[in-house]
Structure 1
Amino acid sequence: MLELTCSQAWTPLLERRIGDWRLRWADGFTARANSALAIGDPGKPLPDTLKQVCDFAHDHAIPPVVQVIQNTSTEEAIEDCGWVQYVEHRPAHEVRVMTGPLSRGTSAGAVILDEPTPGWWEMTAGGAEPAEAPRHVLGTGKVGFGVAELDGVTAGAVRGAIVGEWLHVARLAARPEFRRRGLARGLMNALGAWGAAQGATGMLLQVAVANSGALKLYENLGCTEHHRYRYWAPGPGACEDRPS
């Protein structure tokens, strides 16, 4: 399952299992690292499983959230248990998972580093000195830290992680004042070359359905949709002792 591959590129601070399901916590940094990945057989009735999801979330002071492949029997069953789409996570509550060839071409000055710079952290985590959770989630694994420097500042950044034969791409960003200069494509090209050198044969992305600009870029790079997932949260009365 490709979604499991994605999860290996995005490591939480803490992970526990309910059968095949994965409960994840990273102090609230990103929904992917702070939700239950509902893939496979939890090994117990769904209502009991969802109660454990709620208990784990409450114990770790995060909202109870389940990440589930869209339009599957699992999603239907979760809805039947009184859970609702987690629209509070807009615009990223519905996500497209895309695959494509490794990007090739001119890097436009972008480079892939073995260690993140303060400018990279600022672009990808919101500050040059991030807390433990973003450092762990973004820095764990075989990771390439892509930066594009212009006029003495980090104008663009991207993260690439190698999982098996895949290059998982995330956190692509360019400063507003430097957009429309080919930075995003240059970063993707540099990351593609780096991924190929690490043994990757294709790239894998998770992109919010509402992020039309990113989707257009990735489609132009040859990426196509593999599947979609959504986040679900307990509806009224579906999660005991749910924090107000």
Structure 2
Amino acid sequence: MDSSETLELRCADAWPAVTVDKIGDWRLRAAGGFTGRANSALAVGDPGMPIGSALAAVCDFAHAHAIPPVVHVVAGSANERAIEAAGWVPNTGHAAGHLVSVLTGPLGEGAEEVPVLPEPTDGWWELTVGRPDPTDAERHVLTTGEIGYAVAEVMGVTAGAVRAAVADDVLHIARLAVRPDYRRRGLASALMAACGPWAAERGATRTVLQVAVDNAGALAFYERLGFTEHHRYRYWVPGPRACEDRSL
């Protein structure tokens, strides 16, 4: 089994930020504020300097790119303990949930009624980001890499969509969405299944996805599909006076 840090790196490869820098093994990421994952420092491995200095570099990078300083770190890891000791606190205000379960499971076996397209459609964009015209940052994050765009059409309406990305031998699933009027028809399961053969052709052997721990409905759905928790990660932000903007 992959270590939690190895799997975090695979997920990061599948969700590329617009700007990426490094301090040691840590990745500093910015993407105009589009998603926590693409606008946080991925604190896996050794930053190559004391934790306090690494966190100061995280703050400097965030200020330079006009995003809040945030660290994304494996829950319970030595890095997380050191970040807490440095005065940072869990980002409980993160709208999508600051504690996230990373799930792994099998590849789907296919769904003939759901194609996986090489380019996103307007309907795919509307379900994925809420409109057919994405920002430059959204377009970069969601279309960079080995990507497939699964769509479920019902009577000419894009009723469901999901993003599939292959990084090394992992299928990374994200942005699964079904319109409210079309739920409970098996479309979510069909979307997941459709991505399996597409990913297998590109070398994937298993699936990974990320779900906030308080999203009980999604966790139950993925459990029915055979997914189990591999590990968790948490977002951290500076405590009071822990991250001054040194450019001012």
Q: Tell whether the structures are fold-level matches, with TM greater than 0.5.
A: yes
The 3-state SS of whatever aligns with 1:239 is: coil
Give the Cα separation in 2 of the matches to 1:134 and 1:92: 20
The 3-state SS of whatever aligns with 1:11 is: coil
**What amino acid sits opposite 1:178 in the alignment?**
Y
Q: CA deviation at 1:108?
A: 6.7
RMSD value, Cα: 1.4
**1:57 maps onto 2:66 in alignment:** no
The 3-state SS of whatever aligns with 1:104 is: coil
**What amino acid sits opposite 1:52 in the alignment?**
A
**1:18 maps onto 2:23 in alignment:** yes
Q: Is the 8 A contact 1:67 1:232 kept in 2?
A: yes
Which range is displaced more, 233-242 or 72-81?
A: 233-242
1:152 is matched with which residue? Answer: 156
Give the Cα separation in 1 of the matches to 2:67 and 2:239: 16
Q: Is the 8 A contact 1:95 1:206 kept in 2?
A: yes
1:214 is matched with which residue? Answer: 218
**What amino acid sits opposite 1:65 in the alignment?**
V
Give the Cα separation in 1 of the matches to 2:128 and 2:177: 7
Give the Cα separation in 2 of the matches to 1:208 and 1:160: 19
1:38 is matched with which residue? Answer: 43
**1:99 maps onto 2:104 in alignment:** yes
2:3 is matched with which residue? Answer: none
Mind listing any 5+ residue stretches in structure 1 that lack a counterpart? none
**What amino acid sits opposite 1:150 in the alignment?**
V
Q: CA deviation at 1:73?
A: 1.4
For 1:60-88, what per-residue CA distance to the aligned partner results, in whole angstroms no more than 9, with x for missing partners?
Answer: 11000000000111111101111000111
Give the Cα separation in 1 of the matches to 2:245 and 2:195: 45
1:190 is matched with which residue? Answer: 194
Q: CA deviation at 1:211?
A: 1.5
Mind listing any 5+ residue stretches in structure 2 that lack a counterpart? 1-5
The 3-state SS of whatever aligns with 1:22 is: strand
Q: Is the 8 A contact 1:155 1:178 kept in 2?
A: yes
For 1:19-48, what per-residue CA distance to the aligned partner results, in whole angstroms no more than 9, with x for missing partners?
Answer: 110000101000100000000111111111
- Runs of 4+ aligned structure 1 residues displaced above 2 Å come to none
Give the Cα separation in 2 of the matches to 1:135 and 1:180: 29
Structure-2-length-normalised TM-score: 0.94
Which range is displaced more, 58-67 or 91-100?
A: 91-100
Give the Cα separation in 2 of the matches to 1:66 and 1:153: 39
Q: CA deviation at 1:170?
A: 0.6
Give the Cα separation in 1 of the matches to 2:42 and 2:187: 33
Give the one of 224, 228, 234 matched to 1:224. 228
**What amino acid sits opposite 1:55 in the alignment?**
D
Structure-1-length-normalised TM-score: 0.96
Q: Judging changes above 3 Å, is the alpha-carbon distance between structure 1 residues 75 and 164 closer, same or farther for their aligned structure 2 residues?
A: same
1:87 is matched with which residue? Answer: 92
Which range is displaced more, 27-36 or 194-203?
A: 194-203
The 3-state SS of whatever aligns with 2:37 is: coil
Equivalent pairs counted in the alignment come to: 242
Give the Cα separation in 1 of the matches to 2:41 and 2:171: 23
**What amino acid sits opposite 1:74 in the alignment?**
N
After the TM superposition, which residues 98-137 of structure 1 pair with which residues of structure 2 at under 5 Å, given as runs?
A: 98-104=103-109, 107=111, 109-137=113-141
Q: CA deviation at 1:90?
A: 3.4
